[in-house]
């Protein structure tokens, strides 16, 4: 849920090159010392860093240095160097520990004067940043006293936490005769709280001290790391003992060793406690982190999981990680930051998903290139200490000092964005992706239904800047809520709230700042329609309330639609339609129905259930939600609906028994968040479902709640274990059921070596779950349900891809054992399932081509004979699919079979005018050498269809051509392919498919002019002029003109002399052909010159191969239709090319039709004025009159006016 963004900010300490306690500079200025420790005082906005002789006090907002104290050389020599510091929880004091066992006490006191003042030459307004509205804290350090511990203070090199600061005391471990020493903040020894480790029964390391002490006040737990590398969990109680002065209260300790002592255990180096999830993390010398889970009743500590970079990243053989030097849980418990002495740092989710890591391929490559690491940021080499800032939006990192490098004088601050689920774990926040940063929100555009997830060019994120007026005073943002449609967002910081509309792009804030500061949101917020429901506490009356605000009105206490008081603080809540479910700290769950009446809201308590004895600690509940209720969703249905509860990572469902009682059933552990389907998410027989993320993927339960009249073959398992598990390699944030995908975020890191910095970016990731759900249904024998489920997603662009993935996964699994032949095999079911979809032939062949050839025989023994699938593809006109099958057949079958099928495919391609496929097949048939190539050529020669003559005219032409072949060499494979090409060219002209004929000529690279000249008295003769004229209008989407001048203007504009036509033909992207344009005079020349041999039958094999290499992108001829005047240059250019070809070849009929379309009077006059033309004059005149089109009647009249009515041989035409 946490993702690093942008680059790291750098906080630098000032130079202290002389002794500031002296009035004069030293004769030997000392080098600035490296920082050795970094500690934050939680919830105060202060942190401190120490070097060996200096203490620095900082504020987090604004990030400025408030105070520093540099010790004199004499005190350093006498008391020792600084090695550790301990904060008092309220931030009023801190103690610095030295390596000689001295404790230096410092007070953090307020001062009257301002530490920093901005000075401008003229009055100047400026904006403050997040959390800076209250100005710079006026704090300073003041030395109070030094205390010498006779027995010394236990400290361990490279570990900074030696002791722990509590409200009334600080606890340290002494070095000699190891004991837990309790001191008051005045330096007095608390004898009652001091105990020797030897006196503790559970402590097994007699004589060895503690290297680290960690504590969690809310859980009243302590964790210890011993010098020998063992980890203990301890709890302190109170006991009574006799003293000389009477009976006294003393501290008693109980605990257990939970890590270390085993032979294979690496030594523990660091420990951190997560109070929200009851987890304890232990870092080791190997760089691994072992996480243990404490049961809610604290009766047992169990191993939970392990965080290792190798397993999370797939293994890096060259990675050498040092010991864990720092661990820190985020304030909300959803992220664990890990620092290594060598290797940098990483951030993990609660249960072990790697969110961010400095170990990456880019970093390893850079380290190999530059072994000095000079171009890397300092924390990449190693981390000494780290901590999460207030709100956990920043991670402060103190690098390790490296020998021969400059001293560490900077603190790196990494910026983070976190999911709204970490702010408020409500169901609507899991339905949309929204990330919260320090001062802005990142809203994923894919939340909206009209967003195209396949278009990678579309912007992925909408950046919403939080109003400065709100964030400066109320930073950090603690609660975020978005409605289910992604249009409304609400945020709440330390006080008040604000909400935003993505429709209007406007924020609404409280107009009265006093009202804004009078309450704080404690239990989160959620949207019901346009009403914002807020769980808050009134800071004046200390009442816990539910407040309802309308999005349409201004934010003001007086305009609240309703206020409902509650006995205790709200811990979690959710809503389902007009039903509100809340869980409060009194361990009672309440169900309210919400009604709106004349701008007011009414709440009606419908049900309340006490969970006393079921949930031990109410504050540990993270989220609650109704499971999808059975029935129509009435109040009665909601009352009996199960409730899903997530507490300390334990997912449970509370459901009603037959006798009216309730039972809590545990479903799974290690769950970070869950998603529950609603009525609108139903898909086929998948009536309802529950998705729970466990750091590795989603566990899915299906149909946990069905009514008596609802039936489904998909039923949950009897023991309520998950129905299936989806593994993911990124962190998911939402489930888009209507799109069949899971969307989430992955961390991407870019190393900028030139700038010596690293930039972190968010990489949006998606995962298809369609194939997994379908596979599950098929494995349950629910083929009908699987088909119904898949039909819902058939409209998606990636639907076929999902089915292909399904087939491939099942094939890979079952092929190893040939399980496909067993009765329970899934592969035959998948094949039967795919047959219900129109693209199943393509899905099968694409899957096969992406599978090893060794599996083809097994695969097609179940999927069907590839030859039969090839024939089905041909019948359906799926030429690309048939081509893919042909490649498989060529591998599995003899050349005689694949060659025959290749010829069939070639003829079918020409028949369907798929000239690109035809070109590729020509290349295929002419490029094969060796024995297999001879087989193909024999098939071509023996195919009678090639030698058949279409009619007597074509037979005469072919016999004439054959008689010229005097030897066997002339009867080559190219000879018969040329016959086939010529045959289909004739068929196109007989069908009046002139545009397709031109595209065919370009694809197969033969000269139209020469070929048409040979065929002008045969196949190029038009038998039905009106039909041919109508056909070419349809092919070119050419309008029937109402105005002759309009067409002439369009043609003229498309034939601008400044964009003149060259001689070389090329193909347009839409499949049309035309002339390339340059700046010379207008000229339409020959397409491409051929040699002097017969243009149709004399081409060699090399010529055919050259044809196959020409670029051509045909598409359908285009019947989308255009309005009159909507002509494009490619269409006009095509007609010009065809007109020139028909003119030069003497195909007068076609030339007349094309010139008529272009309204070219000059060409028409030349075509119709000679003796041959006059024989066509009557036919043309009848054609123009029969067109019943005003524009062509104008053309006829213009011709009469141009050449005279007598020459036209007819009476005038009236427009």
CA nearest to 1029, candidates 1189, 1154, 1176, 1158: 1154
| Averaged pLDDT, 543-561 | 95
Of 392-396, 1153-1157, 1202-1206, the least confident: 1202-1206
Give percent above pLDDT 70 in the chain. 81
SS3 531: strand
| Beta-strand relationship, 600-610 and 324-329 | unpaired
DSSP code, position 1145? H
Of 66-70, 697-701, 702-706, the least confident: 702-706
Q: Which two tokens stand for residue 898?
A: 């694949």
CA nearest to 312, candidates 601, 849, 902, 728: 728
| Averaged pLDDT, 1086-1101 | 32
H-helix or E-strand containing 293? strand 289-294
CB atoms within 10 A of CB 92: 15
CA nearest to 422, candidates 481, 490, 337, 498: 481
Identify the pLDDT of residue 240.
Answer: 54
Contact residues for 960 (Cβ-Cβ < 8 A; gap 6+): none
Of 426-440, 512-526, 650-664, the least confident: 650-664
pLDDT in tens, 839-890: 999 999 999 999 999 999 999 999 999 999 999 999 999 999 999 999 999 8
DSSP code per residue over 1125-1138: T---HHHHHHHHHH
Identify the pLDDT of residue 337.
Answer: 97
Three-state SS string over 298-331 comes to: CCCEEEEEEECHHHHHCCCCCCCCCCEEEEEECC
Task: Determine the number of helices (DSSP H) and then strands (DSSP E) in the chain.
Answer: 32, 56
931 vs 117, higher pLDDT: 117
pLDDT in tens, 776-833: 999 988 899 999 999 999 999 999 999 999 999 999 988 877 776 788 889 999 999 9
338 vs 748, higher pLDDT: 338
| Beta-strand relationship, 662-668 and 301-307 | unpaired
pLDDT in tens, 118-139: 776 776 666 788 988 888 888 9
CB atoms within 10 A of CB 104: 22
Q: Where residue 367 falls among pLDDT bands split at 50, 70, 90?
A: low
Is residue 161 over pLDDT 80?
no
Cα within 13 Å of Cα(176), Cβ side:
6
Alpha-carbon gap, residue 105 to 963, rounded angstroms: 115
DSSP code per residue over 734-796: EEETTTTEEEEEEEEEEEETTTTEEEEEEEEEEEE-HHHHHHHHHHTT-HHHHHHHHHTTTTS
Q: Where residue 89 falls among pLDDT bands split at 50, 70, 90?
A: very high
Domain ranges of the chain: 35-119+135-148, 424-519+538-559
Is residue 1119 over pLDDT 70?
no
Buried b (16+ CB within 10 A) or exposed e, 611-645: beebbebbebbbbbbbbbbbeebeeebbeebbbbb
List 275's β-bridge partners, or say none.
Answer: none
CB atoms within 10 A of CB 1026: 13
pLDDT in tens, 997-1028: 998 888 888 788 888 998 988 889 999 999 99
Is residue 143 over pLDDT 90?
yes
pLDDT in tens, 730-764: 999 999 999 999 999 998 888 876 677 889 999 88
Is residue 305 over pLDDT 50?
yes
User: According to DSSP H, which parts of 949-1093 are helical?
Assistant: 952-963, 973-990, 994-1004, 1008-1015, 1025-1035, 1044-1054
Identify the pLDDT of residue 162.
Answer: 67
1097 vs 41, higher pLDDT: 41
Which fold is adopted by the domain 35-119+135-148? Lipocalin (2.40.128)
Residue in this structure with the two tokens 């004979």, named with its chain if needed? 865
376 vs 449, higher pLDDT: 376
Identify the pLDDT of residue 582.
Answer: 96
DSSP code, position 34? P
Q: Where residue 1147 falls among pLDDT bands split at 50, 70, 90?
A: very high
Q: Where residue 1064 falls among pLDDT bands split at 50, 70, 90?
A: very low
| Averaged pLDDT, 144-157 | 77
Alpha-carbon distance values, 529 to 425, 487, 560, 634 (Å): 19, 11, 15, 18
pLDDT in tens, 882-917: 999 999 998 898 888 888 888 889 889 888 888 888
CB 555 within 8 A of CB 511: yes
Of 314-318, 577-581, 868-872, 943-947, the least confident: 943-947
| Averaged pLDDT, 532-561 | 95
- pTM value is 0.83
DSSP code, position 68? E
Identify the pLDDT of residue 906.
Answer: 87
How many residues are present in the chain? 1215
Is residue 967 over pLDDT 80?
no
The pLDDT mean for the chain works out to 82
pLDDT in tens, 653-688: 998 888 888 889 999 999 999 999 998 888 888 888
As a 3-state breakdown, the chain gives helix, strand, coil percent values, each rounded to 5, of 30, 30, 40
CB 142 within 8 A of CB 133: no
DSSP code per residue over 796-845: STTHHHHHHHHHHHHHHHHHTTTGGGSTT-SHHHHHHHHTTSTTHHHHHH
Alpha-carbon gap, residue 820 to 838, rounded angstroms: 24
Of 110-119, 179-188, 709-718, the least confident: 709-718
pLDDT in tens, 247-300: 556 778 889 999 987 878 899 999 999 999 999 999 999 999 999 999 877 778
DSSP code per residue over 334-363: SEEEEEETTTEEEEEETTS-EEEES-SHHH
Angle CA 474–477–482, to nearest 5 = 125
| Averaged pLDDT, 488-515 | 95
Identify the pLDDT of residue 177.
Answer: 82
Give percent above pLDDT 90 in the chain. 50
């Amino acid at each position: 849920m946490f993702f690093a963004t942008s680059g790291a900010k750098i906080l630098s300490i000032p130079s202290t090159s002389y002794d500031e306690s002296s009035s004069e500079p030293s004769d030997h200025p000392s080098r600035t010392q490296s920082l050795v420790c970094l500690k934050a005082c939680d919830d105060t906005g202060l942190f401190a860093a120490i070097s060996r002789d200096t203490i620095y006090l900082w504020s987090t907002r604004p990030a400025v240095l408030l105070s520093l104290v540099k010790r004199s050389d004499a005190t350093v020599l006498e008391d020792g160097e600084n090695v550790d510091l301990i904060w008092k929880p309220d931030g009023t004091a801190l103690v610095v520990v030295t390596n000689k066992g001295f404790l230096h006490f410092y007070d953090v006191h307020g001062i009257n004067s301002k530490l920093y003042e901005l000075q401008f030459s003229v009055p100047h307004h400026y904006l403050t940043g997040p959390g800076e509205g209250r100005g710079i804290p006026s704090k300073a350090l003041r030395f109070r006293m030094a205390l010498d511990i006779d027995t010394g203070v236990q400290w361990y090199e490279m570990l900074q936490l030696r002791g722990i600061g509590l409200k009334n005391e600080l606890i340290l471990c002494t070095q000699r005769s190891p004991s837990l020493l309790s001191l008051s903040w005045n330096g007095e020894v608390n004898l009652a709280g001091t105990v020797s480790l030897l006196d503790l029964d559970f402590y097994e390391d007699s004589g060895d001290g503690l290297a680290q002490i960690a504590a969690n006040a809310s859980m009243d737990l302590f964790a210890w790391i011993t010098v020998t590398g063992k980890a203990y969990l301890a709890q302190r109680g109170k006991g009574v003992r006799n003293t000389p002065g009477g009976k006294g209260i003393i501290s008693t300790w109980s605990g257990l060793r939970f890590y270390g002592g085993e032979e294979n255990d690496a030594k523990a180096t660091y420990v951190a406690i997560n109070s929200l999830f009851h987890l304890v993390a232990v870092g080791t010398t190997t760089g691994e982190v072992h996480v243990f889970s404490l049961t809610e009743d604290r009766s047992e500590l169990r191993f939970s999981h392990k965080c290792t970079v190798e397993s999370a990243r797939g293994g890096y053989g060259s990675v050498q990680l040092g010991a864990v030097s720092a661990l820190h849980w985020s304030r909300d418990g959803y992220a664990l930051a890990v620092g290594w002495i060598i290797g940098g740092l990483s951030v993990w989710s609660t249960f072990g998903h790697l969110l961010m890591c400095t170990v990456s391929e880019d970093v390893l490559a850079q380290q190999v290139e530059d072994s000095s690491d000079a171009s890397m940021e300092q924390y990449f080499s190693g981390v000494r200490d780290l901590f999460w800032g207030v709100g956990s939006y920043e991670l402060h990192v103190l690098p390790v000092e490296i020998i021969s490098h400059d001293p560490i004088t900077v603190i790196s601050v990494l910026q983070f964005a976190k999911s709204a689920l970490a702010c408020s774990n409500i169901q609507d926040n899991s339905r949309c992706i929204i990330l919260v940063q320090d001062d802005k929100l990142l809203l994923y555009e894919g939340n909206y239904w009209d967003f195209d997830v396949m278009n990678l060019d579309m912007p992925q994120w909408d950046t919403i800047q939080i109003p400065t007026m709100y964030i400066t005073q109320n930073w950090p943002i603690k609660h975020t809520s978005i409605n289910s449609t992604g249009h409304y967002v609400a945020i709440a910081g330390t006080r008040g709230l604000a909400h935003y509309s993505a429709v209007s792009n406007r924020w609404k804030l409280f107009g009265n700042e006093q009202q804004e500061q009078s309450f704080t949101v404690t239990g989160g917020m959620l949207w019901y329609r346009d009403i914002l429901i807020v769980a808050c506490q009134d800071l004046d009356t200390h009442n816990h309330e539910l407040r309802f605000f309308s999005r349409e009105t201004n934010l003001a206490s007086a305009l609240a639609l309703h206020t409902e008081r509650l006995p205790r603080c709200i811990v979690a809540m959710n809503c389902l339609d007009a039903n509100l479910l809340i869980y409060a700290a009194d361990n009672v769950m309440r169900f309210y129905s919400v009604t709106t009446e004349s701008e007011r809201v009414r709440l009606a308590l419908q049900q309340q259930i006490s969970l006393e004895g079921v949930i031990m600690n109410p504050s540990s509940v993270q989220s609650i939600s109704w499971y999808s209720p059975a029935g129509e969703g009435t109040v009665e249905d909601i009352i009996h609906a199960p409730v899903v509860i997530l507490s300390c990572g334990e997912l449970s469902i509370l459901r009603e028994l037959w006798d009216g009682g309730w039972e809590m059933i545990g479903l799974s552990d290690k769950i970070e968040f869950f998603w529950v389907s609603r009525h609108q998410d139903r898909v086929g027989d998948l009536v309802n479902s529950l998705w729970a993320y466990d750091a590795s993927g989603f566990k899915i339960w299906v149909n946990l709640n069905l009514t008596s009249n609802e039936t489904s073959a998909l039923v949950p398992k009897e023991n309520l274990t998950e129905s299936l598990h989806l593994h993911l390699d990124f962190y998911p944030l939402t489930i888009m059921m209507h799109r069949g995908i899971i969307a989430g975020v992955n961390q991407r890191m870019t190393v900028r070596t030139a700038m010596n910095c690293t930039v972190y970016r968010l990489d949006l990731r998606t995962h298809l779950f369609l194939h997994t759900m379908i596979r599950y249904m098929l494995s349950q024998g629910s083929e009908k349900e699987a088909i119904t489920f898949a039909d819902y997603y058939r409209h998606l662009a990636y639907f076929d891809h999902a089915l292909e993935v399904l087939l491939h996964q099942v094939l890979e699994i079952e092929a190893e054992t040939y399980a496909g032949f067993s009765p329970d095999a899934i592969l035959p079911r998948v094949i039967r399932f795919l047959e219900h979809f129109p693209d199943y032939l393509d899905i099968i062949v694409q899957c096969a081509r992406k599978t090893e050839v060794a599996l083809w025989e097994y695969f097609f023994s179940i999927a069907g004979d590839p030859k039969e699938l090839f024939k089905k593809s041909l019948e359906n006109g799926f030429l690309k699919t048939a081509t893919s099958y042909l490649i498989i057949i060529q591998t599995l079958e003899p050349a005689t079979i694949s060659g025959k099928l290749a010829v069939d495919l070639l003829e079918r391609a020409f028949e369907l005018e798929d000239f690109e496929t035809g070109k590729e097949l020509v290349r295929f048939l002419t490029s094969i050498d060796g024995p297999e190539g001879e087989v193909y050529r024999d098939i071509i020669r023996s195919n009678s269809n090639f030698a058949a003559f279409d009619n007597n005219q074509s037979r005469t032409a072919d016999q004439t051509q054959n008689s010229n072949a005097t030897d066997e060499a002339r009867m080559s494979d190219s000879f018969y392919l040329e016959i086939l090409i010529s045959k289909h060219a004739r068929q196109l002209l007989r069908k009046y498919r002139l545009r397709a004929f031109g595209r065919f000529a370009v694809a197969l690279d033969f000269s139209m002019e020469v070929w048409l000249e040979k065929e002008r008295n045969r196949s190029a003769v038009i038998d039905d002029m009106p039909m041919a004229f109508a056909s070419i209008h349809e092919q070119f989407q050419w309008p029937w003109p109402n105005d002759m001048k309009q067409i002439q203007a369009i043609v003229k504009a498309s034939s601008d002399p400044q964009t003149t036509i060259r001689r070389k033909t090329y193909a347009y992207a839409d499949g049309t052909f035309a002339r390339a344009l340059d700046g010379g005079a207008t000229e339409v020349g020959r397409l491409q010159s051929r040699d002097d041999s017969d243009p149709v039958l004399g081409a060699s094999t090399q010529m055919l191969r050259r044809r196959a290499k020409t670029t051509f992108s045909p598409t359908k001829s285009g019947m989308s239709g255009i309005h009159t005047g909507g002509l494009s240059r490619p269409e006009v250019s095509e007609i010009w090319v065809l007109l020139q070809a028909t003119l030069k070849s003497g195909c007068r009929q076609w030339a007349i039709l094309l010139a008529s379309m272009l309204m070219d009077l000059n060409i028409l006059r030349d075509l119709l004025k000679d003796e041959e033309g006059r024989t066509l004059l009557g036919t043309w005149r009848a054609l123009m009159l029969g067109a019943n089109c005003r524009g062509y009647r104008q053309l006829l009249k213009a011709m009469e006016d141009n050449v005279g009515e007598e020459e036209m041989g007819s009476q005038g035409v009236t427009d």
